Structure 1
Amino acid sequence: MRDQLLLQATAFADAVSSEKAGDLSGPVPTCPDWTLRDLVRHLGRVHRRVTATITSGSERMVARDAEIPDGEPPESRDEVATWVLAGAAALVEAFEAGPSDREVGGFVGPTPVVWWERRQLHELLVHRLDAEIAVGIEPLADVSPELAVDGIAEWYDLITAFRSGSRRLRGTGETVHLHATDEPSGEWFIVRGPEGVTITREHGKADVAVRGPARALLAAVTGRRGLDDLEVFGDPAHAEDWIRVAALD
């Protein structure tokens, strides 16, 4: 997982330091109101905040607006890649410095370091997708179906842990089935009940089924792409509404 994190950081850095990125003032279509520089800053600061949280051993995550060493990206696009990779490397060093079950600050309380490893890998994967879409590079070209499926699983794990009872996600019993066609483990059955949503890893007959390659499914699930590259069976409105409310970052 740590090697994958560095690989995804390298791909992100390549995208935002490419000639197509220009002066980093261009928009990121998948992150409204953000420029590429905003995206770089966000990701680099997240890496540094998590690193500081782990190395401090605090039971609270370092605050979003806290002073963070080296917390601002350089002005020169040529130096941006180095800044991004330095943050990712420091993060991996923090992961390697102690046991993975050690608890540190998380979103709402202490969480094992290993939880942060997976969270940061998929944070990188999704923001790599943002960057590559913004600069016109084929998104996630070298990402395996297995990694893309775990990205979807991690996204839905976050919903289950933190948002399953959200009013936005509730429904009247609508069901959605998602199926990655290139990875056997990539199936989800979603039920939007009046008390909240349940998400299970199983096959089932639903009001709508969405099928396709894992990378395309990840892009849709996270709100980065529509359903055009996927097969939809049943009422597409159910799938579109679920993705709309569940893709909030």
Structure 2
Amino acid sequence: MTLEFPVLLRTIDERAAAFRAVVASAPSLAAQVPTCPEWTLLDLVRHLGEVHRRWAATVTAGPADARPAPTEGAAAVPQEREALLAWSAESTEQLLGALRDSGPDRDCWTWWGGSQSPQTCGAVARHQVQEAAVHTYDAQLTVGSPEPLPEQAALDGVDEFLSTCCSGPDAWPHKPCAVDYRATEGRSWRLTLTAHGTSATPLPAPGKTPTEADATLRGTASDLVLALYARIPVNSLEVEGDGHLFDLLLAWDPDE
């Protein structure tokens, strides 16, 4: 089940606040982010803030065939920590304000038009939970104190990633297969990959799956999300079957 819209907004707010708390405690904004090696912590803050502002503008624009053009004359991102954190908080509030004003069912442009996720403001909120949660992990790792993603966000995150980032009409360039993702918290999903496209479906309770998967990845929901976003290696989780399929998935770029 997708999280309710108020829960999505609250979780974005909570994760963004946790993100800023980590940044406030960091010895230096020049620290390199291990999971985004081309970025410093300052770059990470800039990225998340700009993502929040861009999606705020997209949500506010409503239904559109293309992403709205960037606002002219946007203020420069502050370099000093206190001002940077204030800018970050303002960025998050812009996003949350736009989402509150729109409501979950209003259409808007999204980059995942061909996927199983709808092109709605509610789907934007759902994806932004994961953006904030994963980048909070990035920041925590940078200062040496990584924590698991909150369970509720992580469980929704596996489903959201598979439905938004993996499903669609693009042809799987390898032998057709089915891979399962099983969270130790009790939920499971199957990703089916064929020459006609890919689809994600929740699985029934253990022992009731009608057919065997070609490969299964098992771990906490947090670890599954972090593996899907290439924050931790797949082989740090429990792999059954043809584990090479997960490497192919990580390397697959449908746009190529």
Which interval holds the TM-score relative to the shorter structure? 0.7 to 0.9
Q: Is the 8 A contact 2:63 2:109 kept in 1?
A: yes
Q: Is the 8 A contact 1:48 1:68 kept in 2?
A: no
Tell me what 1:153 maps to.
159
SS at match of 2:139: helix
CA distance in 2, matches of 1:103, 1:239: 33
Stretches of 4+ aligned residues off by more than 4 angstroms: none
What does the per-residue CA deviation read over 1:46-65, in whole Å, with 9 as the maximum and x for residues that have no partner?
111122233344624233x5
Tell me what 1:213 maps to.
220
1:127 is aligned to 2:131: no
1:232 is aligned to 2:235: no
Compute the RMSD of aligned alpha carbons: 2.7
Unmatched 5+ residue regions in structure 2?
1-7, 204-208
How does the TM-score come out when normalised to structure 1? Answer: 0.82
2:95 equivalent among 84, 91, 96? 91
1:35 is aligned to 2:40: yes
CA distance in 2, matches of 1:193, 1:112: 27
2:126 equivalent among 103, 118, 121? 118
Q: Is the 8 A contact 2:56 2:95 kept in 1?
A: yes
1:136 is aligned to 2:139: no
Aligned residues: 237
CA distance in 2, matches of 1:133, 1:155: 21
Q: Is the 8 A contact 1:170 1:192 kept in 2?
A: no
1:78 equivalent among 73, 82, 85? 82
SS at match of 2:33: coil
Percentage identity across aligned positions?
31
CA distance in 2, matches of 1:62, 1:40: 23
Mapping for residues 28-67 of structure 1, pairs under 5 Å? 28-57=33-62, 59=64, 60-63=66-69, 66-67=71-72
SS at match of 2:234: coil
Unmatched 5+ residue regions in structure 1?
none
What does the per-residue CA deviation read over 1:177-219, in whole Å, with 9 as the maximum and x for residues that have no partner?
110011x3x3122233233333222245222211111111111
